[in-house]
Structure formats: structure tokens, C-alpha cells
Amino acid sequence: MMTGQESSEVVAAADRVGRYRWTICALLFAATAINYVDRQMIGVLKPTISAELGWSETTYADLIFWFQAAYALGYLSFGRIVDLVGARVGYSIAFVIWTIGHTLCGFVTSAFQFSVARFILGIGESGNFPAGLKAVTEWFPARERALATGVFNAGANVGAIITPLIVPAITVAFGWRMAFIATGVVSLLWLVAWVAIYRRPREHARIGAAELAHIESDPADPVGVIGWRRLLRYRETWAYGLGKFLIDPIWWLFLFWTPDFLAKTYGLDIVSFGPPLVVIYLISDFGSVIGGWSSSRLMRRGLTANVARKLTMLACAFLVMPIFFAQYVSHLWVAVLIIGVAAAAHQAFSANLYTIPSDMFPRTAVGSVVGIGGTMGAVGGMLMAKFTGYILQTTGSYTTIFAVAGSTYLIAVTVIHLLSPRLARVDAG
């Protein structure tokens, strides 16, 4: 427990170092929130659009499938693009593409056209995390990256909170098409801010010498780019990639099917399932930050990154398991609590998993490793979308789906540990 004097000393030290890097983190947070508003709208509007356009469960699953197929292709490409052109240009390209795809959703008239628009959205949105993690790697030392990642990753939950609040209101007043168009146009304000503000630390006029020294306090990375073929030979790449393959589909499940689950199980509609979704993602927002804080705190107490990350992920794996029982709960808010804790545990797990590439690889390879992992996660999501659509179309039950969701994280942390027992830095020489 810190005394008042010790706390004052910590604050004073932070003031001396400078805090501009957290302005960059705030931009990443805002972009991720926008990313998730655009991504989640399809789930919130599923009942409305399905009724108007005559979608079945498998039609909806196909839309999710094509979004994730594009996400898989784009994630791999953007990982390399970001490593080559940097976070500023790479993020700008991604943002423009996904905003175009999102806005086009307001003009489509068929499931095929919707699939094309969502494919464009998926290509662009796949650049969010490679660019964001590249920026974190550029702007934060290793001991702060999990916290910074947790903070900007919390934007996902804020986006998920905003969506059920603003989208139903726009839809009721102006129709679902205008919901896509209006949110797409307004989000362009972020792009203006990003282009105006973001630079690498050494190129930024607002950063002082002390903060620059703090950011660059880690040992220097080897010079040179590591190619994909070489990256795929490292067990550490597969530790991250398989972790993403296993857990990302469960987050997609929460994002795209929670409104449907609440609507079918508790008879909620586009207006009434807003508050439960807000509570779920408020809880998960807390998980994102506390997950990053937890491992950073353990590292400050002397534990290695390996132990700190894995202990946090193991705890999260156990917290997801009760999701299996959500379908058997008769009271709506008890189910909301169970799902919210599971979503929070995912976000805490994910914040630590996202940090692993920067623990193990030089900065020049982080974007590519993140891209490989994101692609594998999207492939897992494609399989999960088809699986979920088939199960719901044939059985109408979430029993098997939630059984898979509840067990996956324990499998993931086991796989990560077996492939990289020490999270050691790769020999890039």
C-alpha cells in the first residue's frame, strides 16, 4: 500500500517524464470505439434488417463470414503495410476503407450487396489493431504496453456501449439506412485529428527529452525487417496466432449474437435490449483496463512478463467458464452479469495476448506478427460464424455454442504456454 508521500512522488515523477504518449493512446481509444460502432451495428440491427430483407440465420451467418474473410485477408496485409509505412499512414488508409464500407451499408438492397459492403468494411477494419499496436510499440516502453493496450482496447467496449444507445434512436427516427450513413460521416472527424496529431516520438514537437528517453528506455532492437516466411518458423509466432485463432471467435460471438440471444431468450426488441447491452459492455470495458493493469502491476512487483501475462490470462480463462449457464438463467440481469463477466475476462485476456508480440519480437516485426495472429483469429471467426448459424438454424439452442465459448480460453492459455514456455525474445540476429 502506497503512502501519501510515495503517491506524490510517483505523480511528480510522471510529471517530470511527461504524459503526451497518453494523448496518442486516447486517439487509439477513439478509433477503436468508432471501429466497434461500425462493426457491431449489424448485430444491433439484425432483427430489424432481417424482417425487412427476409434474412434467415444462415444468411446472417454468411454476412458475418464474408466480413471475417475480408478481415482475415486484410489483417495479414495491414500487418505488413503498417510495418513498411508506419502507424500514421497505415491507420489513415485503414480508416478510409472501413468508413467507405460502413457507409455503403446504408445504400444496399440485397444480402449480396450487404456482403460486398461488409467485405469492404472488414478489409479496412482489419488495419485497426495492427496500426494501433504499432503505435503503442512506438510510443510506450515494454513495461507500459499492456496498460496502454488495455486502455485503447477498451475503446472496443465503449463502441459497443454507444451502439445500442445511438443506433436504435437513429433507426426509429430516420430508418436503419440513415444509421449507417450518419455514423460513417461523423466518424471522419477522427481522421482529421489523427493526421494532424500523430508522428513518431522523435518527430513530434510536443514530446520532451525526458519522455522520449522514457519511451526509448528498452534495449535497442536489431536492425532489419523479418519476413513472413521467417516469422512462421518461430514457435512464438504460432503461440500468438493460435491464441488468437481460439479466442477471437468467442468475442465475435459476443459481439454479433448477444442481441439475438437476448431478443430470443427474454423477448427484447431493438429498443429494450439497449440497456442490457450497455451493462454487458460497461463490465467488459472494466475488464480490458484491469487486464492490462494487472500484468503491468505484477511486472512492477518483480515478476517476469511471462509469469505476469500468463497468470492474468489463466485467471481470465476461469472467469469465462460460467457463460455456459447463461442460457439456463430465468432472470435477465443475472444472465447479463454472467455474459458481462465473460466479456470482461475476454478483454483482459486479449489485452495481454495483444502485448505478447512486443514482448517477443523486435519493433520492426510487431505489425507482421499481429497481422498473422489477426488473420488466424478471423479464420477462427469464419468457422465460428458458420458453426453458430448452423446450430441455431437446426436446433435453435445456444447450449453447444456456449459450451465451446466457456472452454476455449483455458485451451488457449495452455497452447500459448506449451509453444512459448518463457515468452522469450526471438533471436532475430
Concatenated DSSP letters of 250-304: HHHHHHHHHHHHHHHHH---TTTTHHHHHHHHHHHHHHHHHHHHHHHHHHHTT--
Specify if 4 maps to a domain: no
pLDDT at position 410:
97
pLDDT tens by residue, the chain, 429 residues: 444 444 444 344 445 778 889 999 999 999 999 999 999 999 899 888 988 999 988 999 999 999 999 988 887 788 778 888 888 999 999 999 999 999 999 999 899 999 999 999 999 998 998 899 889 988 898 888 878 887 887 888 788 889 999 999 999 999 999 999 999 999 999 999 999 999 988 888 788 889 888 888 877 656 566 777 889 999 999 999 999 999 999 999 998 899 889 988 999 888 888 899 999 988 987 887 788 789 888 988 999 989 999 999 999 999 999 999 999 999 999 999 999 999 999 989 998 998 899 889 887 788 788 878 888 998 999 999 999 999 999 998 999 999 999 999 999 999 999 999 999 888 765
Which pLDDT score, from 0 to 100, does residue 144 have? 87
Q: How far is CA 419 from CA 295, 314, 381, in A?
A: 20, 16, 22
CA atoms within 13 A on the CB side of 129: 33
Residue 409 burial (CB count, 10 A): 27
The secondary structure of residue 361, as a DSSP letter, is S
pLDDT score recorded for residue 324: 95
Q: How far is 317 from 132, CA to CA, in rounded Å?
A: 25
pLDDT of residue 427: 77
Cα separation, 191 vs 31, in Å, equals: 9
Q: Where do the DSSP E strands lie in 87-238? A: none
5 inside domain: no
pTM: 0.78
pLDDT of residue 208: 87
Q: How many residues does the chain have?
A: 429
128-139 and 57-85 are packed helices; what angle lies between their axes, rounded to 10 degrees? Answer: 40
Which pLDDT score, from 0 to 100, does residue 218 have?
Answer: 75
CATH number at residue 356: 1.20.1250.20
Which residues touch 222 (CB under 8 Å, ≥6 apart)?
362, 364, 428, 429
Domain count, the chain: 1
CA distance 382 to 64: 7
Query: 68, 71, 73, 62: which is closest to 113 by C-alpha?
Result: 62
How open is the CA angle 49-255-386, to the nearest 5 degrees?
A: 75
Residue 281 lies inside a defined structural domain of this protein = yes
In a domain, 273, yes or no: yes
Which grid cell sits at 168? 436504435
Distance in angstroms (rounded) separating the CA atoms of residues 180 and 41? 8
How far is 346 from 349, CA to CA, in rounded Å?
5
Residue 368: its H or E element: helix 363-394
Find the angle CA(362)-CA(367)-CA(372) to the nearest 5 degrees: 110
Q: Is 290 within a domain? A: yes
* 319-324, Cβ contacts within 8 angstroms, sequence gap of 24 or more: 319/344, 319/345, 320/250, 320/345, 320/346, 320/349, 320/405, 320/406, 320/408, 320/409, 321/406, 321/407, 321/410, 322/406, 323/402, 323/405, 323/406, 324/402, 324/403, 324/405, 324/406
Q: Distance between CA 254 and CA 233 in Å, rounded?
A: 33
Confidence (pLDDT) at 10: 38
Residue 304 lies in a domain: yes
Tell me the residue range of the domain where 46 lies.
19-200+229-419
Looking at residue 8, what is its pLDDT?
45
287, part of any domain = yes
